Structures are given as C-alpha cells and as structure tokens.
Chains A and B, each alone.
Chain A
Amino acid sequence: MSPTGTEDDVAAIAKRWKNKRGSLIMALHGLQDRYGYVPREAAMSLGEQMDVPLARIYEVLTFYNYFRLKSPGKHVVSVCMGTACYLKGAPQLLSRASEELGIKPGETTADGEFHLQVVRCVGCCGLAPVVTVNAKLLAKVTGESLEAHLLTPTTAEDGKA
C-alpha cells in the first residue's frame, strides 16, 4: 500500500472504472488503496473524470465504515469487535487504547502518529482478543501487552515484512 497517490493514479482509476455500471465503490477502493484514505481533492477529481456528482460519492463514502475520509495516521490500531473478541474483552481493550491515545475510535491523534478504529472480525477468532497495529497481528491481547505495543509500535513496512 502506497501512502500517497498522485493525480495520475486518480486518472488511471477513473479510466479503469468509468462507464462501468455500479463501479463507483471499486473506484473508491482504488483511491483508498493509493492514498490510505480518500482525500477530498482525489474524490472531486474522480467525480469529474467519472462524471459522478460529489454528493453521490460522499453518500457511498460515508455509508460504508471501511472508507476513511481523513489521513489515518502513521500507525493504524484496529481493535476487533467480532463476537469472539468481544466476549474475550475487546470493549475493555478499546477503552484502554482510547484512553492511552486520547482519541475516540475513528479519530487520529493530533501528531498524526496513531489512528484508532474498530473492525469486525479479522478471521482468527482462535487468537481472540485480537488487535492489529498496521499489518501486524497481536494475539490474545491484554491491557498491558496492548500498552507495550502502543509505546513501541512497528511501522507499516515492519508489519508487512
């Protein structure tokens, strides 16, 4: 995932999906993949090139939780609230992370370092409760282990590697 996209990226995405019925969501996924979120300027440019009004684009962007409208910050902390994780204490982990970082779910810290979000099931319920920091998966998380990871987070690249 590249953290920044360019006008050329938007043009390529628009060209790929233009005139294909029902493809707006795919194009918006394309934008989020390039930028890490959907910047307003990119949405406007996409709308112009695909001939889709901005109002429609934002209907879609705000309907689905998956899309982010703000830069997510360097480290994305995702607390899984799927059933298994929920039962194993995910709500407590979420409030702990929220307290620790001083932000609510969906927000980014003022210094742009952390973004906190809720996800629904990451597909490894046996390891519940699960938290991911960037692409790194933390299993059987406790309040203490979560705090330790927030103090020394890995970067997106580390996570990938």
Chain B
Amino acid sequence: MIQATINSLPVEVAPGATILDAARQVSVHIPTLCKHPDLEATAACGICIVRVAGSTKMLRACCTPVEADMEITTEDPEIIQVRRTVVEMILSRHPNECLTCGRNQNCELQTIAADFGLREICLDSIVPDLPIDNSTRAITLDPRKCISCGRCIQVCQQIQDVWALSFLQRGIDTRIAAAGDISLADSPCVRCGQCSAHCPTGAIVEYDETQEVWDKLLDPDAFCVAQLAPAVRVAIGEAFGFPVGTNLTGKTYAALRRMGFKAVFDTNFGADLTVMEEAHEFVGRFTNAKSVLPLITTCCPSWVDFMEKFHDDMIPHFSSCKSPQAMVGALAKTYYAEKMGLDPAKVYVVSVMPCTAKKFEIIRSKEMHSSGFWDVDVSLTTRELARMIKQSGINFRVLAEEQPDHLLGAYTGAGTIFGATGGVMEAALRTSYYLMTGENPARLEFLKTRGLDGVKEGKFDIAGKEIRFAVAHGLGNVETVLTKVREARDAGTEPPYHFIEVMACPGGCVGGGGQPYGVTDNLRAKRAAGLYQDDQAGLWRCAHENPYIQKLYEDFLGEPLGEKSEQLLHTSYHPRPTYRR
C-alpha cells in the first residue's frame, strides 16, 4: 500500500491508484468531466488538475498514480482559477441551448458550469456548424454539443468492440463521427446506445419519439396499449428520487394508465413466453445428437445486429425466438385483439424499454410484421417514459400501485430476471429442467449466471446429463466465447458449451443504453438486485407455471414451436454488411 496526503488528510491506496481514486476514498471532491468509472482515463478535459508538492506543473488527478509520500492539494485559488478557465474554454465551443436540450438538468457539463458559478464567458463563442445525425432513428448524434471527452469512443471501440464511432481531425477541429464521416446508420453501429449512456452532455441521446406517442394517445380512434420491459421497473425510480433498484412496477402501470393507455401489458409475460419457446428449442436440440449446438440467445437486438454484421457464421446457432417485446407486440394485435373484440388495425402498441436498439428491432425484418401490421408501433426508452410522466404532471411518488392487464401482463420470476445479465439463461434452465424431468429443479437460483463478471461459465446437471453454459455481456466479451465455439467446430470436437446467453450492454438490460444516466457497476448491481428480489417474492418463479401462458397456449397458440407459434413468435437472421458505405 502507498501512503500519501490529500489536503493534509492521510490516505492509503493500492499501487496504481490515481489521485482521483485516492481523493474519492477520503471524500474529497475533484471535479472532472471526462473520467467515467467504467472507463480508462483519457485526460481529455483538464478539469481535475491538482497540485503535488515538489512539482512545478499542475497534474491531472484522473491519470496520475499516487506515489509514496505525495502531498496533494486539490483546491487553492490558483487551481480554481485554472479550472474555471478550462470550463470557460469548453463552454465557448458549446451551443447555448440548455433549455431545449435532452440533457437539461441532467448534464454533467451544466452541473460543472453551475458549480463554478460562471456568469459570463470571456472567450468568443466558436460553435462548430455540424449536422445532427438521426439516421439510425435510435440514437441522435449532435456533434456540436460534443466536448471531445472520448467516453463514447472508448465505449464503442473497447467495451463494445463495434468501432462505429471515432474522432476525426485534430486540435480545435476534432469532432466525433461514424466510421470516417458517414451516417451512423451506414456504419457498423448496432444502436446499443452505450455512447448515449456514457456521454456527459447532450451530444448523444436517444432518438426522441415521445411526441408520436402523445399524438396517438390524443387520437380517439387509436386503442393505445403499453408494455413494460423487465429492467425499466427497477431504474425508472431514479428519475423521481427513489433509491436505485426500487421496484416500481405497480406505479409505472398506474402512470401509463393515467397517461391514457387503455391496456398495460408486461414484457415479462413475453419473457415467460420466450422461455417456453426457447427452452423447447434448447431441449429439442440438446436431445437430438444431430442438432447444432450451442444454442445462442437472441433477446438482445444489438447482439443480433452485431452477430449479423460481424459473426454471421453463428447464424445456425441462433435461437429463432423473437424477443419478449416482439412477442407481446404480435400477441397484442392478434390474441388480445381477438379476445377483446378489437380491430387490430386500431391497436397501437408502445413498448417501454431500457434500450435504444429496440427502436430498430421493431422494424428489423418482415417477421416483425407477423400480425399483419407492425407488431410494435413505437419503442420508447426508460428515459423517454420518465419525461412523459413528468410532462403529464403525474405525481409518480404517491401513485397507488396497479395491476397489469393479465392476459398479456401476468408474469413469473423467470420473466423478470431477463433484465439482468444471466437472467435469460437462468430462466431457460429452470424450464429446460422441467421439460426434461417433469419437475422443477430443487434449487431455482443459478448463482453462476449472476453477477458482473464479463464472461460467466457453468455446468448444470439435468437428468444425469451435463449442460455447459456461458453468459457474456458487453459485446467486447463475446469474442472469447465465440472463439472457443469456433475452435471446437473447426476441430470437429465436442462444443465447449450447449447454451450461450449474450447481452450487448454491460450488466444486461439493467445497464441498457436507454436507462437513466449515471450508470456504474454499483448501479447495475443494485438494479439487478431489485429484479432478483422481484423473482424471489413472486408466487411463480418458472415460466411454465404462469397460468396466463398456459391459457395462451390452450386458447390460441396450440403448443410451443407449433405452427401458430412459429408464425408469430419466431424470426430468422441474415448477414448484414458491416459498412453500408
């Protein structure tokens, strides 16, 4: 351990710890704009400068390791003056559009400017004239608002291994752009939105579709229905001052009804249904020696897009199951409309997702039109729903909890844990066990699928047969898993795994690109804990126990993987060009 002092306070840190780490340890606040806890320091912004005794230069706290007996000063009038100048320089290149910006009151730059109490900018404003990129209709990129911190680029290139974004040019002309100045939609971008989740300003935000939804809610002819994804319920409270991870399912149902939705479904129901279809698919493949294994999950649209662009040799391994959102959409315009005597043409399905890529998923292929209409009409992110609730004036904190519309709303613990990395695997193994043995596993918790390790591996015994599984999250972690699969395939040996789950975002959907800002591993873990508690507290914890799922098969679908299920609940995959230009 290394000992040093910060503002005369003694501090002891492990070798390699930076001054910024050390300061946080002793509750000394050093302002910074570019350093994010998920990422390596880029030392781009220059706000975290501190003074170290014996050094004539001010040093950047984010990238300076603590050395033995360092005497660090984090605040004195000169440091504050230099920091103020840096903030002024950044603001002189930033459009003064806070009131209409997607990050108003939730912006790290705005917070810093407020903290420094700037009343005027002494430098001439030179805001670059660069166009907004809305081409993906999932993410809005406004390079004028970029402060060149490099977080989005590090996330896109290193954490996600997508390489859609990079800096172009240098010095004062530096700007963010997709793959050599093309539109994001033509680039390898898989719309995961992790760039937007890490951006400190409004330079990258979700593509806002709230107005479209308001217009439909005003339309007396439209029968608007909503569905709520697993991870939304444990994150939306952050926008209303609830502790991180609070499960607000009932309040969110109530808010959606207040806003004008005529029925409120739960994507967790769709998750239970996905488990039913996928577990049958898995058991079918596992018990047939000639089948292609491992089976790979496909609930995550960014992962599907990534695979179609970068790993299309894996298509035969992909589960044909649609995602839970897509399944609920298809059933809302068929089964539900039929049961309720509604004209499916008038049913307008809005999904609320932790995800920006879901906005693309709903139009990704013709199979998303399985009801005869686009199965889901609009997909909103958690952040958009939070804004709509605030616009409504609804007092979210005191709303009485409500129930979903059960036909497509009742769910089990298996469905709710879809929102955390490993949850799909755990849910599918519970039901696979039941399908192969006729009973539930003695212990329903699969601890090896849980937690934030990038790649999790495990073995599970069902009826004397060993099932080997792997769970990866964060697209940069996929390569190690797929490499093992390819090596075994090329060598003609036994596959390393039978079942693989992949979620594009670190932490799974709880850490999704459409979730409230400020994500760190601490937040991811707390949101996931909220879901595991929901699972623990539920009456049913296995998808096959959901009585409304049973009813759906009896009254409408027939059987898992049956003709009707195949038509409404399954999809196909095709290679896509990595670069369209």
Contact = CB atoms under 8 A, between A and B. Distances in A.
Contact of A58 (B157, B166, B188): B166
A54 B179 contact: yes
A96 B164 CA distance: 41
Contacts of B165: 55
A105 B179 CA distance: 25
Interface string B155-190: 001000001111111100000011111000001100
B242 interface: no
Contacts of B57: none
Contact of A55 (B169, B170, B179): B179
A56 B180 CA distance: 8
A54 B182 CA distance: 11
A43 interface: yes
Contact of B581 (A40, A58, A59, A61): A40
Interface in A14-59: 40, 43-44, 53-59
A61 B166 CA distance: 12
B181 A55 contact: no
A50 to B, nearest CB: 14
Q: Give chain A's interface secondary structure class.
A: helix
B214 interface: no
Contact of A53 (B163, B168, B177): B163
Contact of A43 (B169, B170, B178, B180): B180
Contacts, number: 42
Given A53-B163, A54-B579, A55-B165, A40 B180 contact: yes
Contacts of B167: 59
A54 B170 contact: no
Contacts of A55: 157, 163-166, 178-180, 187
A4 interface: no
Contacts of A92: none
A54 B169 contact: no
Contact of A44 (B169, B170, B178, B579): B579
A58 B170 contact: no
A61 B181 CA distance: 11
Contacts of B581: 40
Contacts of A43: 180
Contact of B166 (A40, A44, A56): A56
Nearest to A54: B179
* B167, B178, B180 — most chain A CB neighbours (10 Å): B180
Given A40-B581, A44-B579, A57 B180 contact: yes
B489 to A, nearest CB: 21
A63 B180 contact: no
A105 to B, nearest CB: 14
Contacts of A44: 579
A55 B170 CA distance: 15
A58 B168 contact: yes
A62 B579 contact: no
A62 to B, nearest CB: 4
Contacts of A58: 166, 168, 177, 179-181
A54 B180 CA distance: 7
Interface string B179-203: 1110000011000000000000000
Contacts of A62: 168-170, 180-181
Contact of A59 (B164, B166, B187, B579): B166
Nearest to A58: B180
Contacts of B168: 58-59, 62
A63 B166 contact: no
A61 B170 contact: no
Interface in A41-91: 43-44, 53-59, 61-63
B169 A56 contact: no
A159 B574 CA distance: 53
Contact of A63 (B170, B177, B181): B170
Contact of A56 (B163, B170, B177, B579): B163
B129 to A, nearest CB: 15
* B157, B164, B166 — most chain A CB neighbours (10 Å): B166
A40 B179 CA distance: 11
A57 B169 CA distance: 12
A54 B580 CA distance: 12
Contacts of B180: 40, 43, 54-55, 57-58, 61-62
Interface of B: 157, 163-170, 177-181, 187-188, 579, 581
24 contacts: A40-B180, A44-B579, A53-B157, A53-B179, A54-B179, A55-B157, A55-B163, A55-B164, A55-B165, A55-B166, A55-B178, A55-B180, A55-B187, A56-B157, A57-B180, A58-B168, A58-B177, A58-B181, A61-B180, A62-B169, A62-B170, A62-B180, A62-B181, A63-B169
Given A53-B157, A61-B180, 7 more contacts: A43-B180, A54-B163, A54-B179, A55-B180, A59-B168, A62-B169, A62-B181
Please name the 10 residue pairs, one residue from A and one from B, whose CB atoms are nearest each other, closest first.
Answer: A58-B180, A53-B163, A55-B166, A62-B168, A55-B163, A54-B179, A62-B169, A59-B166, A55-B179, A63-B170
